[in-house]
Amino acid sequence: MTTSLFAGLKAAPADPILGVSEKFRADPRAEKVNLGVGAYLTEEGKTPILEVVQEAEEAIVAARIPHTYIPISGLAGYGELVQKMVFGAASEIVLSGRAATVQTLGGTGALKVGMDFMHHLCGLSVGATSKPTWGNHNAILVMAGYEVKGYRYYDAARDGIDFAAMMEDLKALPAKTLVILHACCHNPTGYDLTHDEWD
């Protein structure tokens, strides 16, 4: 009798944020509020299909484009448009060809690709995330081979960002640390840096 290769596998612990959504669904109270995964929902709690998404889907179907493999870095036209949106069409970074774009499956997929690239090709071995952060970020860093450090971000006593503490911690990190920053809607606090703080 052969022992299964997967016999020793154990289930990973449940994601605490997704667990909040499960508790929400199980709660019978009408006045409940879902503080779990952030997503646009209707008043009935359903995920809407945005009109622009529906229009894009209809255009794709009407074009009858074959469903085949795309280049490993994604659709070139999409990458070019993303670069122009992020940096500006007249940006020197875009015009000189210094920008590189890779299309991934969602945000977590993008983080995984970026973390692997920086670790395996650039030699980085330390990663830093905000305190708190979505637990998945630390797990992906560990799986990619990083030592994980944190930097202060949210101050519960002030109910806001402790920017001075954040900067102090970031400056104290070792050189060539991969720092994970939440560009908007910080997960899980929802508190974002101001334009001046980003500068």
Q: At what angle do helices 135-143 and 106-116 cross, to 10 degrees?
A: 30
CA distance 179 to 78: 26
Q: Are 45 and 37 in contact (CB under 8 A)?
A: no
* Identity of the amino acid at 40: Y
CA distance 17 to 188: 8
pLDDT in tens, the chain (199 residues): 567 888 888 887 777 667 777 888 889 998 887 776 667 778 777 888 989 999 999 998 999 988 888 898 999 899 999 999 999 999 999 999 999 999 998 888 999 999 999 999 999 999 999 999 987 899 999 999 999 999 999 999 999 999 999 999 999 999 999 999 998 888 888 899 999 999 9
Q: Which residues contact 45 (CB under 8 A, 6 or more apart)?
A: 34
φ and ψ of 130, to 5 deg: -70, 155
Neighbours of 137 (CB within 10 A): 19
The pair of structure tokens assigned to 70 is 């795309």
CA distance 65 to 60: 7
CA distance 189 to 154: 7
